[in-house]
Chains A and B, each alone.
Chain A
Amino acid sequence: SQTIHQWPATLVQPVGSPLSLECTVEGTSNPNLYWYRQAAGRGLQLLFYSVGIGQISSEVPQNLSASRPQDRQFILSSKKLLLSDSGFYLCAWNTATSGMETQYFGPGTRLLVL
């Protein structure tokens, strides 16, 4: 069966520090991968999606970047965090065999920037 991992689960970082959040998927190959952010009191905002290694599409301009160095690995980064980067970050995946219309979510990383 397929599983999705995110780490760390919780992170507290000072303003201006770098960020690296990791997402990995097991049990499938060539997944589409997505990064969402859920800010307090708001819905989910799609940040990035990737249909393959090295292929990244950005949905909104922001202080963050994403990379996909391996087929089942998706990394969210920042060189200098802002207070507004605080939130709950969710990784999701799907494939043609899982039902392309459905996305499956990881457990999330809660980021607090102070």
Chain B
Amino acid sequence: AQSVTQLGSHVSVSEGALVLLRCNYSSSVPPYLFWYVQYPNQGLQLLLKYTTGATLVKGINGFEAEFKKSETSFHLTKPSAHMSDAAEYFCAVGTINFGNEKLTFGTGTRLTIIP
């Protein structure tokens, strides 16, 4: 079984400030980890993913996340927030089972950027 916890359903940061969105997971097998972003009334767009290899993963729009196995975390960061970053962000954990993948999503974090 796998699960994802996103701490903070709403996060507000000032434009130009550091963005930190927290995600902790549990998985009985080595996980695949994802961050998706959802803009209003749109589907989900893949921001970045960790599968194997380097634990610091860089994604689109200047975001990055670090897989920390000891802390079972995959927090999302961006050094300097931009107004266009305002959206909802979902962390997800996945496993592959005979070619059938299941993703378990967190409940999401709504990011607001303060001008």
Docked-complex contact B102 and A46, CB < 8 angstroms: yes
Q: Which of A41, A43, A57, A101 contacts B49 (CB 8 A)?
A: A101
Docked-complex contact B101 and A101, CB < 8 angstroms: yes
**How many A residues have CB within 8 A of the partner chain?**
24
- With A43-B108, A44-B90, A46-B102 as contacts: A100 and B43 at CB distance below 8 Å: no
Tell me if B84 is interfacial: C-beta within 8 Å of chain A. no
Tell me if A24 is interfacial: C-beta within 8 Å of chain B. no
Q: Which of B43, B44, B94 contacts A101 (CB 8 A)?
A: B94
Docked-complex contact A108 and B42, CB < 8 angstroms: yes
Contacts of A51 in B (CB 8 A): 99-100
Complex CA–CA separation, A44 to B90 (angstroms): 9
Q: Which of B45, B49, B103 contacts A46 (CB 8 A)?
A: B103
Q: Interface of A with B (CB < 8 Å)?
A: 6, 32, 41-44, 46, 49, 51, 57, 90, 92, 94, 96, 100-108, 110
Q: List 20 A-B contacts (CB under 8 A).
A: A6-B43, A32-B99, A43-B90, A43-B107, A44-B105, A49-B100, A49-B102, A51-B99, A51-B100, A90-B44, A101-B49, A101-B51, A101-B101, A103-B103, A105-B43, A107-B43, A108-B41, A108-B42, A108-B43, A110-B41
